[in-house]
Amino acid sequence: MNFLHIGNTGLQVSRLCLGTMTFGWSADEKTSHDILNYASEQGINFIDTADIYSAWIDGNQGGESETIIGNWLKTQSRRDIIIATKVRGRMWQGANGEGLSRHHIIQAAEDSLKRLQTDYIDLYQSHYPDDNTPLEETLAAFDHLVQSGKVRYIGTSNHPAWLLMKSLWVSDAENLVRYETLQPHYSIFHRSEFEQELQALCLDQKIGVIPYSPLAAGFATGKYTRENSKPDSTRSSSGLIQRLINNEDAHKALDLMREIAAGYNVPIAQIALAWQLAQPAITSPIIGARKVEQLKDIAGAVDVKLTGNELAQLSQATSMF
């Protein structure tokens, strides 16, 4: 597994990041630990979670993924693992149970540290914007956590280009820590949202990019076909999937990916990830799995080096997305 410095920092992370939204949802604790162990064996040192994972499941309260990771982490060498988590969503009832206020951020960080059973968070990210809290307050709270040693670096997710740039300006003007990473929705089948403005911004400002859903909610694995548009999946009802399964251009792009994958003798998903890894702004796509076998199918993507012609063909075939 190759390692890269993330953003404008000295922090080195693996070229793939293990996403853990499935932990405590579609993967129980034993399966989750098996996935973590396999990822570690493959050299993946970068683990991404969020405090709200997976509060949307009946019987869950949020924090399930962090708790599972914490139980695993105590059996590992902490210094070898890079933990990223997020704050923003509702975690308790009451006026300050969600958001990016100083009150919520500092309390949520303490709660995440307890669940993760660690003294520090390597990368603490704002999960999505909070229009009701001034950027100065949010960034000052993050700065406090960094100065106290409880957080090493900060990042953000789901921010449009104008808000990310404004946040960087506030950090500079107020002498506060700045967002060093961005977690956008980006894949070979979902390109314009990131490429239109965020890509150039991240390259110019040396922001590390760790995209989520790099396999387009499973469409880029090839399991959705013209003939089988509803395979057994936890994401088959997503809006993105519904748009893609009825799009002939998307299926033609999959046909090309199958052809290229056959030449490398690898699963189609590895071609989607190899294309993304070849993009200049990308540090570490976030890959998730419900079982170890799924992770085995995609972990080898870092070893697939597409030719310039193949990259151009894939980019052209998906340019409309």
Known catalytic residues are 53
DSSP 3-33: EEE-TTSS-EEESSEEE-TTBTTTB-HHHHH
CA atoms within 13 A on the CB side of 238: 15
Contact 61, 115 (CB under 8 A): no
Q: Which runs of consecutive H residues, i.e. helices, occur in the chain?
A: 29-41, 64-73, 102-116, 135-147, 161-174, 192-195, 198-205, 239-245, 248-264, 268-277, 292-298, 308-317
Residue 185 — φ and ψ, nearest 5°? Answer: -80, 115
> Could you tell me which residues are beta bridge partners of residue 123?
84, 153
Place of tokens 């990822």: 39
Non-local (6+) Cβ contacts of 214 within 8 A are 186, 187, 220, 272, 273, 276, 285, 286, 287
Place of tokens 């080898």: 300
Place of tokens 């090493």: 152
* Residue 197: C-alpha distances to residues 184, 190, 272, 304 (Å): 12, 14, 22, 28
Which 3 state secondary structure label does DSSP give 314?
helix
